Amino acid sequence: MASLQSYFVLVPWLLMFIIPALSMKTFAEEQQTGTLYWLFSQPLKISDLVLGKFLSVWVVGILCLIPSLIYLYTVYVLGVPEGNIDLGMTFGSYIGLIMLIAAFSGVGILASSLSQNQIMAYLLGVFMCFIMYFGIEQLASYKLLGGADFILQNIGFYQHFLGFTRGLIDFKDVAYFVLIIGVSLVLSNHFINKKK
């Protein structure tokens, strides 16, 4: 059966660098150029500002996935027999990527709200995304904490994204990503309010 599994293994590593690059300008550049204080003077709530910037990074991240549909079409057509591809697993993986992009966007917005300039925002965003996706998983794989390794493993993005790549859209995985996004946006809102 034809598969895009190797693509879905590689893409999170690319997104780990692309999404912080998209989100590094959201608040760090606003603060660096002084336009953040102009935004504070507008009749906008800070939460609306944070949500708008998050949605813009998320949508641009999703648009980065559109060219990969060419791969899906190619594998679908070249499969023997034609169409010999597990579409459930493939579409589940795409939904997982959309959720992962949202989580990376939330973390990137948080990094940008913490930083004074864009370079620091990018480096902090990449570091936080790496720790959340791969670092926690690797720490848990050393089996240093006994039974707590399972809990530690479920804190990171990797285990929750893995369910999507198997074609399983589980409520707990979706709820986990929504929780991470919510916590990131609430913390971003708090740090931006402190700059006011």
Name the band, by pLDDT with cuts 50, 70 and 90, for residue 144. confident
pLDDT tens, 162-195?
999 988 899 999 999 999 999 999 999 999 999 8
Judge whether residue 49 has pLDDT over 90. Answer: yes
pTM of the prediction?
0.93
pLDDT tens, 15-38?
999 999 999 988 988 888 888 888
Judge whether residue 151 has pLDDT over 90. Answer: no
pLDDT tens, 80-130?
888 888 888 999 999 999 999 999 999 999 999 999 889 999 999 999 999
Single out the residue of 108, 95, 89, 36 nearest to residue 62, CA to CA: 95
* Separation between Cα atoms, residue 157 and residue 164, nearest integer Å: 11
What is the mean pLDDT of the segment spanning 46-60? 95
pLDDT for 145 equals 75
pLDDT for 167 equals 87
Judge whether residue 147 has pLDDT over 80. Answer: no
Mean pLDDT of the chain: 91
Judge whether residue 39 has pLDDT over 90. Answer: no
pLDDT for 1 equals 72
Judge whether residue 63 has pLDDT over 80. Answer: yes
